[in-house]
Amino acid sequence: MTTTTTTTTTTTTRFPFPLRYSFPAFFSLQPNSNTRAVQFKHWSKLIQSWCRHHRIYKISLVEATKSPLFRNSELRKRLSLSDARTVLDWMSKGEEEGGGGKRAEWVDGGKSVVWVWWRRPEEWAEVIGEWVESTGQKNVVLTVYELIEGEATISQEWHGMDTEVMFRSLNVLVKQGKAQIFGSEGQEGVKFF
């Protein structure tokens, strides 16, 4: 899959695009600010769903605009690079109703690569913390590799997660006093409290 700079397991099921993806106007940013805000919400939801389905954490904007995410080949319509960047900028500001925080974060100043937070690190931290609690992993030392690739996490949504996303999530737990990370780069361990 060429839409990512970081992927894990790609699902074998076909992504179910929403009905609005079949409307040509969806691929042109609307001039009315109210309509555009609704359009941005729909794009945000689509981008998050797409990334979640394909277990993508980071996308290259140039590559993504060539993918089915931003290009509907049946309609021969696509969201331009500039418009896709505008949508992702909106997602990075966390302006969606109901809060929920930022759903995108630029990796670089040139806005060419972006993290897509279908779950923000704080949300991942909560999920990981619940798993630690439910599986009796408190006061146990696990390697970061075990958390990401281990047999015990195969059934977990974070299995195969991007390493940087895992560290961001674990650092949330560290700040909450629920974990400690130690060891040298590439050999890190985590102890949960």
Convert the pLDDT of each residue in 141-167 to its tens digit: 999 999 999 999 999 999 999 999 999
Write out the two tokens for 96: 């969606």
Convert the pLDDT of each residue in 107-138 to its tens digit: 998 999 999 999 999 999 999 999 999 999 99
Q: What is the DSSP letter of 101?
A: -
Alpha helices, DSSP H, located in 60-151: 61-64, 81-92, 121-134, 144-149
In the predicted model, is pLDDT for residue 98 greater than 60? no
Q: What is the value of pTM for the model shown?
A: 0.86
Convert the pLDDT of each residue in 167-188 to its tens digit: 999 999 999 999 999 988 878 9
What Å distances lie between residue 81 and 23, 69, 121, CA to CA? 19, 12, 27
CATH of domain 4-116: 1.10.10.570
The strand pair at 4-7 and 113-116 is best described as unpaired
User: Can you give the pLDDT at residue 156?
Assistant: 94
Convert the pLDDT of each residue in 1-33 to its tens digit: 444 444 444 456 899 999 999 999 999 999 999
In the predicted model, is pLDDT for residue 97 greater than 70? no
Q: Are 84 and 70 in contact (CB under 8 A)?
A: yes
Which residues make up the CATH 1.10.10.10 domain(s) of the chain?
121-192
Helix (H/G/I), strand (E/B), else coil: 73: coil
Q: Are 160 and 174 in contact (CB under 8 A)?
A: no
Which residues make up the CATH 1.10.10.570 domain(s) of the chain?
4-116
Please tell me the class of the 121-192 domain: mainly alpha
For residue 19, with 0-12 CB atoms within 10 Å meaning exposed, 13-18 middle and 19 or more buried, which class applies?
A: exposed
